[in-house]
Amino acid sequence: MKIENSVVLITGANRGIGLAFARALLARGARKVYAAARNPESVTLPGVEALQLDVTQPEEIAAAVQRASDVTLVINNAGIAQPGGFLALDSETVTRRIFDTNFFGVLNMSKAFAPVLKTNGGGALLNVLSVASWVNGGELAAYSASKSAAWSLTNALRHELAAQKTQVLGLHMAYVDTDLTRGFEVPKSSAEEIVQRALDALEAGADEVLADVLTQQIRQGLTAPRPVYLPQGNGA
């Protein structure tokens, strides 16, 4: 898909990867960028149209469809995380809350905007996923599970939307220097690096992009004699 002259809607566009997407899309010649956030006043980037959108609220999604009926690219970026494993006392509550945004938010946005994309020539859907789609060590158990589900959703949508010529791109990455990874003392990519690789892949017509070295290594490790998603090391 060509970015120049496109009309884009980005969820979670007020900071982090979403904000980096908005900046990069404007720089690449997008005609219009709807920068969606729960609080539109938090969107301060010049040149975008702030849009109130909580992806867990069906009425706000419906309102976004009415306002952004000219969209040709939807970027499902909004996401939340919380540390903790599935054996924690509050794990059901945490998991439902995270799935509401990270899975059902993507599902409902994709369903709502699929007819818009079809009307506007097909366009594209870009879902922000994670290396956590493939590995879950329990530290971010619900987040990882939600991204695994979102990966499967993305793969299904690619098949379902093919007939209307909508490109579906899954973006996988490891640690990115955003609020979401604050406190993690690990090597991190910049949001700008990840976004540039994602947009290059989008314009190349790709289905998936593995946006950093660790993600590429983890993906290769899925087919190792002892796959990377299993416990590694002594006693494994």
d(C-alpha 113, C-alpha 230), whole Å: 37
Is there a contact between 51 and 64 (Cβ–Cβ < 8 Å)? yes
Q: Which residue of the set 34, 143, 175, 188 is catalytic?
A: 143
d(C-alpha 100, C-alpha 102), whole Å: 6
Across the chain, the runs of DSSP E, i.e. the strands, are 7-10, 32-37, 49-52, 73-76, 124-128, 167-172, 208-210
In DSSP terms, 209 is beta-bridged to 171
Q: Which residue of the set 2, 32, 111, 147 is catalytic?
A: 147
Is there a contact between 95 and 142 (Cβ–Cβ < 8 Å)? yes
Q: In angstroms, how far is CA 72 from the centroid of its own chain?
A: 17
d(C-alpha 70, C-alpha 123), whole Å: 11
Give catalytic status of residue 143 as yes or no.
yes
Give catalytic status of residue 118 as yes or no.
no
Catalytic residues: 143, 147
